[in-house]
Amino acid sequence: MSDDLTALVTGLAQRAKDASRVLANASSAQKNAVLRRAADALRGAAGDRVIEANARDMMAAEQMGLSKAMLDRLQLDRSRLDAVADGLEQVVSLPDPVGALVEERVLENGLRVGKMRAPLGLIGIIYESRPNVTADAASLCLKSGNAVLLRGGKEAFHSNTAIAEVFTQALADEGLPAEAVTLLPTTDRQATLVMIGLDGIVDMVIPRGGEGLIRFVAEHAKVPVIQHYKGVCHVFVDRSADPDMALEIALNAKVQRPGVCNAMETLLVDAAVAPTFLPKLGAAMGARGVELHADDRAAAHLNGVKPASEADWDTEYLDLILNVGVVDGIDAALEHVAKHGSNHTEAIVTKDAAHADRWLREVDASLVLVNASTRFNDGFALGLGAEIGISTTKLHAYGPMGLAELCTLKWVGQGEGQVRQ
Amino acid sequence: MSDDLTALVTGLAQRAKDASRVLANASSAQKNAVLRRAADALRGAAGDRVIEANARDMMAAEQMGLSKAMLDRLQLDRSRLDAVADGLEQVVSLPDPVGALVEERVLENGLRVGKMRAPLGLIGIIYESRPNVTADAASLCLKSGNAVLLRGGKEAFHSNTAIAEVFTQALADEGLPAEAVTLLPTTDRQATLVMIGLDGIVDMVIPRGGEGLIRFVAEHAKVPVIQHYKGVCHVFVDRSADPDMALEIALNAKVQRPGVCNAMETLLVDAAVAPTFLPKLGAAMGARGVELHADDRAAAHLNGVKPASEADWDTEYLDLILNVGVVDGIDAALEHVAKHGSNHTEAIVTKDAAHADRWLREVDASLVLVNASTRFNDGFALGLGAEIGISTTKLHAYGPMGLAELCTLKWVGQGEGQVRQ
């Protein structure tokens, strides 16, 4: 690894870390003013510069032969930039997590103790093609009093640089250190390696993107990583389920937005209700263009399905494809989910309170649901106001991460001279 | 690394992980029964076997020429074993964290959401000479529904093996998988390396011991590590402090138990009160045999002190030695603590509410105190009932870790057929 690159990345990270101490003590008003300035800038001349920079990225990407889907993710226009600016204003409207006191109590000796939310320090975000992540991540990190070190994708380099400049300018205009939002000036993989090795400087890294990127970061990081590999989400139709509710939930979970991680990939049905439920399911899914991969027992009640291969049960399709399996009751369903689930989102449809309770307790997933669509695993849908990602890591944060999850909880105690006996 | 050793450790860890799924769903009554059985066994014949095994460890340790302090940490006798058994019964008396619902609320669409405490899975504990850690760690992990993979010190190998057998027997007698408490049958450092590389099997590792051990684990781990390096704790005597209170807190923080991580290592005094406060402090510390290392400004008001070297300000003495420095007000004190503190415990003595508030907000430490002794940073003192260690890692847990911190919080949602619009 080149010494120059190591020194460059380390130096930038250290300056961002130094800036984080100032951000940690910035007032809510100051932080909100930065976000408002950035929103205004994106709606004005700075936004034009972002769109010009994006045009350069798009031209290069087209020459490199990127897929249409990737080009769409990369593209910024006036309406998308307005949506980014709206997002910044939404973050302004959220309560400041820093300084909030939770779990307050008074000990027998009169010491008042509790936990206070405090920023983590410097958060690293490693992401791929979408340039709007630059603004989303910067706004959530700033609002939670953290500095952010961004490593964007090479396709979006000019767009990301222009967006990051909007934030550094807004910080400077508010008298805060511009280094609190630092975009690495290189997308070299070696620079990423240096960044994720900066134990003691970078407090947490969140990789956002494909499974390959996340595995690379998890494998090589020396700093804590919050991972989100994939969502292989299940809906289990219990024998006691209301069949109409089960059908509605299954359809929503599969077809409302199939390309996202909280969409359902596998439906499990209790054998007791398979003969009545599956024909309706097959017809409804067929009408919406969903291709079904079924096990033998399910296929007996479905028309025109493919056999599910062993690998299918572990596949995140992100598409209009659904595995369907028949299981012998809730124990078999829990077994299947424990084996094939991805700790993301798991739903049961049931009228049986004991089964609902077992599902909630026994399923190990970031969101466990009774009688609701898997599509609810999302920071906006769960009322966080915004999210920086959905963690399937059990430490620190499990599920959607909002402003509170970008903070730590430090213990605080207030006494009148108490000493230890 | 030998393939045999890798296979051995991986196999044991996988079986412990499999056991963790059963433990996660064990009832409070079952888990408490295991701990009561273990306590009874330690008070009876199994305790005799532990003491015999400990005698073998002690003999070998004496032949190896271990220090008196290390021999003392290693030794188990009937009264120490009784204290271990008492500790198990105390864990029985603590509420079961698993299944507790927090942050409950109802979303606009009627979906009732909240977070439910759930075990992490398999927790790795890597520790050095004290064999009682085997019982402490096993009891806290079991009560919180986790399995535990223990790697003890080589000096305590026979003692640890005998204590672990008490737990595996108690688990088996309650119809729970004995593998939920697994002691590695080797203390080979290569085995530790395999253990801390088992991403996806071991959910969290807590190293307990010297800084060398902790750094080794942090450096090589691929699984999440909760660290606790050291405690360089400060007390800052503000210009508004009640001098009697400041003196009492300083004495308690330094001399009540100097060999522990929450003892004070450095006292900072506002220059405005140094001329009146320091002579009293010097006399009181001198009377208790405390050696003072002072900066020039403090030395002017103290007798018979050594000059503090630059390294002293970063040293965890764990002994009757104290650094004393004079600072120009709270800003300089905050600067000093940010530079030399270890994110452990930091106290201010003040009557000024604005200074108290700044200290609580601006100091980055696992426990930040106003008008109380640093010695309160301890799971028992803070009301957790027990602790597995004190984290100075900001992610997941910051400060003393009790049963709740050995759990994750998964989102749960209960609906009546809600789907995403």
Overall average pLDDT of the B236-246 stretch: 98
Place of tokens 């079904």: A292
Overall average pLDDT of the B188-203 stretch: 94
**Cβ separation B25–A413 shorter than 8 A:** no
Confidence grade of residue A197 (pLDDT, cut at 50, 70, 90)? very high
pLDDT at B24: 95
Residue A121 has pLDDT above 90, yes or no: yes
Confidence grade of residue B172 (pLDDT, cut at 50, 70, 90)? very high
Distance between CA atoms of residues A361 and B11, nearest Å: 27
Chain A contacts of B362, Cβ < 8 Å?
24-25
Best of B117, B412, B416 to disrupt the A interface (most A CBs within 10 Å) is B412
Q: Taking a contact as any Cβ pair under 8 Å apart, which residues of chain A between 279 and 298 contact chain B?
A: none
Would you call B69 an interface residue with chain A, using a CB distance cutoff of 8 Å?
Answer: no
pLDDT 10s digits, A367-410: 999 999 999 999 989 989 888 989 998 999 999 999 999 999 99
pLDDT at A196: 96
Give A296→chain B minimum CA distance, Å.
29
pLDDT 10s digits, B369-395: 999 999 999 999 998 988 899 999 899
- Assigned token pair, A141: 């990190």
CA A360 to chain centre: 22
pLDDT at B156: 96
High-pLDDT (> 70) share of chain A, %: 100
Whether the CB-CB separation of A418 and B373 falls below 8 Å is answered with: yes
**Cβ separation B409–A419 shorter than 8 A:** no
Structural domains in chain A, CATH included, are 3-227+401-412 (3.40.605.10), 233-376 (3.40.309.10)
Chain A contacts of B114, Cβ < 8 Å?
none
**Cβ separation B364–A24 shorter than 8 A:** yes
Question: Which of B25, B362, B368 comes nearest A361 by C-beta?
Answer: B25
**Cβ separation B411–A396 shorter than 8 A:** no
The chain-wide mean pLDDT, for chain A, equals 95
For residue B222, give the amino acid letter.
K
Would you call A383 an interface residue with chain B, using a CB distance cutoff of 8 Å?
Answer: yes
Would you call A218 an interface residue with chain B, using a CB distance cutoff of 8 Å?
Answer: yes
High-pLDDT (> 90) share of chain B, %: 88
Strand-pair category, A407-418 with B101-106: unpaired
Give B293→chain A minimum CA distance, Å.
24
**Dihedral sign computed on CA atoms, order A21, A27, A33, A36:** positive
Count CA atoms closer than 13 A to B101's CA, side-chain side: 12
Would you call B311 an interface residue with chain A, using a CB distance cutoff of 8 Å?
Answer: no
Whether the CB-CB separation of A199 and A117 falls below 8 Å is answered with: no
Residue B11 has pLDDT above 70, yes or no: yes
Q: Taking a contact as any Cβ pair under 8 Å apart, which residues of chain B between 327 and 356 contact chain A?
A: 338, 356
Would you call A233 an interface residue with chain B, using a CB distance cutoff of 8 Å?
Answer: no
**Cβ separation B375–A418 shorter than 8 A:** no
pLDDT at A237: 98
> Phi then psi for B207, rounded to 5 degrees?
-90, 130
Residue A3 has pLDDT above 90, yes or no: no
| Strands annotated E in A37-111 | 101-106
pLDDT at B1: 57
pLDDT 10s digits, B306-349: 999 999 999 999 999 999 999 999 999 999 999 999 999 999 99
Would you call A116 an interface residue with chain B, using a CB distance cutoff of 8 Å?
Answer: yes
Q: Quick one: closest CA in B to A116, which residue?
A: B361
Residue A420 has pLDDT above 90, yes or no: yes
Query: In A157-179, which positions are buried (b, 16+ CB within 10 angstroms) versus exposed (e)?
Result: bbbbbbbbbbbbbbbeebebbbb
pLDDT 10s digits, A140-159: 999 999 999 999 999 999 99
Distance between CA atoms of residues B95 and B100, nearest Å: 10
More confident residue, B216 or A321: A321
Residue B215 has pLDDT above 90, yes or no: no
Distance between CA atoms of residues A362 and B290, nearest Å: 55
pLDDT at B177: 98
pLDDT at A1: 57
The chain-wide mean pLDDT, for chain B, equals 95
Cβ-based burial of A68 (10 A; exposed 0-12, middle 13-18, buried ≥19):
exposed
**Cβ separation B411–A395 shorter than 8 A:** no
Residue A129 has pLDDT above 80, yes or no: no
pLDDT 10s digits, A217-254: 988 898 989 987 789 999 999 999 999 999 999 999 99
> Phi then psi for B121, rounded to 5 degrees?
130, -105
pLDDT at A218: 86
pLDDT 10s digits, A288-305: 999 999 999 999 999 999
